[in-house]
Amino acid sequence: MSFISSFSFMSQYWMMFVQGVITTIELAIISIVFGFIIGIVLAILKKSKYSILSIFAKAYIGFIRDTPLLIQIYIVYIGLPMIFDVNISDFATGVIALTLYSAAYIAEIIRSGIESLPIGQFEASLALGMNKWKMMRDIILPQAIKNILPALGNQFIGNVKDSSLVSVLGITDLMYQAQTVRGSTALGVQPILVAAAIYLVITWILNCGMSYAERRMSVNDIR
């Protein structure tokens, strides 16, 4: 059997790959949404005038960014049930780990977006009598988020790829399904190549969507 013809397994196992894609996208979307919310909080805490809050945010971001995601997944998988004495599903464990991971990176993206704004924006807000929280909510964050949308899009794409690591928990994402098909068919690299091709298609579609959004934003800015 030739190398190309060995891909005939797809006629039997394609639904497993489809389910893997669905699970992968679900993991990426949920983790990026909650990671964005936590990331905003961390970015604000890091810039807080209260040193204890700033130190906490810096320590958290530093730990997450300087340790492998795989280790963080195991910490969540083993640590949370021990600390809180609860049973957490594998999917929820994967979501929590990816959320905590992405939140640290999103916090730095948001922080850089805030710091990129002209100082006049801050001065004008204070001159209008706004307190810090109202200034952040109504003036600073909306502008900062608009400026960092491309970076947030890249983080979302990163979440799609990073989600492959949660397959170690038995979550039926794309990588897990590829490994399952590989074990069922006794094939070597072919199922992995199929998964790689699917990841390429997903990231290509997302990159196209990001490029379109950036062009639309540029047109709106000119208007």
**% the chain with pLDDT above 70:** 96
Burial class (CB in 10 A: 0-12, 13-18, 19+), 26: middle
CA 142 to the chain's CA centroid = 20
Q: Please, where are the H alpha helices in 116-165?
A: 119-127, 132-135, 141-162
Q: How many domains does the chain have?
A: 1
Assess if residue 114 is contained within a domain. Answer: yes
Higher pLDDT pick, 139 / 97: 97
How much is the pLDDT for 220? 63
Assess if residue 8 is contained within a domain. Answer: no
Q: What is the CATH number of the domain that holds 79?
A: 1.10.3720.10
Write out pLDDT tens, residues 114-166: 888 887 777 777 777 777 777 877 778 888 888 888 899 899 999 999 999 99
Assess if residue 7 is contained within a domain. Answer: no
26 Cβ neighbours under 8 A, 6+ residues apart: none
- Helix or strand (DSSP H, E) at 211: helix 190-222
How much is the pLDDT for 107? 95
Write out pLDDT tens, residues 192-215: 999 999 999 999 999 998 888 878
Report residue 210: phi and psi, to 5°: -65, -45
How much is the pLDDT for 214? 77
How much is the pLDDT for 69? 95
Assess if residue 9 is contained within a domain. Answer: no
How much is the pLDDT for 11? 84
- The residue segments making up the domain with residue 212 are 14-222
CA 56 to the chain's CA centroid = 21
How much is the pLDDT for 166? 93
Q: How confident is the model at residue 76 (pLDDT cuts 50, 70, 90)?
A: very high
Report residue 189: phi and psi, to 5°: -95, -15
Q: Which of 24, 31, 2, 48 is closest to 160 using CA atoms?
A: 24
- What DSSP string describes 83-115? HH-----HHHHHHHHHHHHHHHHHHHHHHHHHH
How much is the pLDDT for 219? 62
Assess if residue 136 is contained within a domain. Answer: yes
- Distance between CA atoms of 109 and 40, rounded to whole angstroms? 9
